[in-house]
Structure 1
């Protein structure tokens, strides 16, 4: 029986990925790498900066420093998030409706999570139950962050349901022994991405917050909309 719903943050709670990948495209062009934000979203959603840079260096025979690259991105994103970042439409209603505990398990660092969730009015839904990849050894698609979140919240993996927008996150949930649902409500996703998330191991895919609300209600985890 599910007694904990674990939310990814970027692309599930906040519509940040569409902004982040646009910044990636801009910065990567300066390194001579021409790539679209759609391609980056499909390949690297949920993947750490270090993991993405490592793959891009291998693909393009470049030598981008991951630490410097992350700093460049975060410098640009800091001001962009202050002006343009929004919560995923309707996700607050989903959180209000839930009848089981919730937490966040994200590839972002804790400082960014606190800032972004605070600025979008979602922080109070989670209290201290916010977990970052910086607290574990390995990022997604490794299961570490989800297992850490479950332990801290006193739940067994088989009693957790993960809401994720990326294949890496879905794979991580499966490796942790958890059920998962793919989410397409972020601006960086489109309906064609459903197959990608199902192939990664999602038990179902929902298109937006309303569909997620209905899904959770049908599972007996939330008040029906």
Structure 2
């Protein structure tokens, strides 16, 4: 689904979780388990719907309002379970590695994740090398998504005008960040996405296009001459 024309592209900005790596099921499951241990019952799908795209700080503020105390200890327990799950289960989104390596354009990662989480997720996969050193965390800018700071940081890094870039994200925060920076926003839906209303949610957030799976994404980028072959 394309809501606006896609111009030639010099920079492709990728969110990490749910776009490059299939981390969200592991994250949602381990967070739900840690919440249950702390006395707050949430199903993994509800966790994914509520917290996808948030920074850790934003998530903790929300959980504190729901009754979670001693946030430092809570985060420590969750990170231990999360990173262990990543080591056992984490995989790239199917097909994304070939797409990334075939891009005939600048590319980078712009994530609301902490630097520590990026190191322990994308950093344990070969795909890290396709982006390094251009892996950017919200900790590197003043304000996380949905503010435009991360997108603008990417544009400055490569000296690219907003209209010559695209931002691919599976969250409303990422879509709004792109739009606030004047960048073409592509809402990405993984082929295993469990949130049935995700397409409508991304459209409502202002996505210029919504794609399901890597093949649709590749076709869209190819139309802008951003993919080799």
* TM-score computed with the length of structure 2 as normaliser: 0.89
- Pick which of 194-203 and 29-38 moved more: 29-38
2:57 aligned to 47, 50, 54, which one?
Answer: 50
Counterpart check, 1:215 vs 2:215 = no
* Cα distance in structure 2, aligned partners of 1:191 and 1:206: 14
Structure-1 residue corresponding to 2:91: 86
Counterpart check, 1:120 vs 2:125 = yes
Structure-2 residue corresponding to 1:176: 181
Structure-2 residue corresponding to 1:101: 106
- Runs of at least 5 residues in structure 2 that lack an aligned partner in the other structure: 1-7
Counterpart check, 1:194 vs 2:199 = yes
Q: Work out the number of aligned pairs and report it.
A: 222
Q: Quick check: 1:5–1:100 contact (8 Å CA) kept in 2?
A: yes
Q: Quick check: 1:17–1:186 contact (8 Å CA) kept in 2?
A: no
- Pick which of 40-49 and 114-123 moved more: 114-123
1:145 aligned to 143, 147, 150, which one?
Answer: 150
- Pick which of 27-36 and 92-101 moved more: 27-36
Structure-2 residue corresponding to 1:166: 171
Q: Which runs of 4+ in 1 moved over 6 A?
A: none
Following superposition, the deviation at residue 24 of structure 1 comes to: 1.1
* TM-score computed with the length of structure 1 as normaliser: 0.90
- Runs of at least 5 residues in structure 1 that lack an aligned partner in the other structure: none
* Cα distance in structure 1, aligned partners of 2:187 and 2:225: 18
Following superposition, the deviation at residue 184 of structure 1 comes to: 1.1
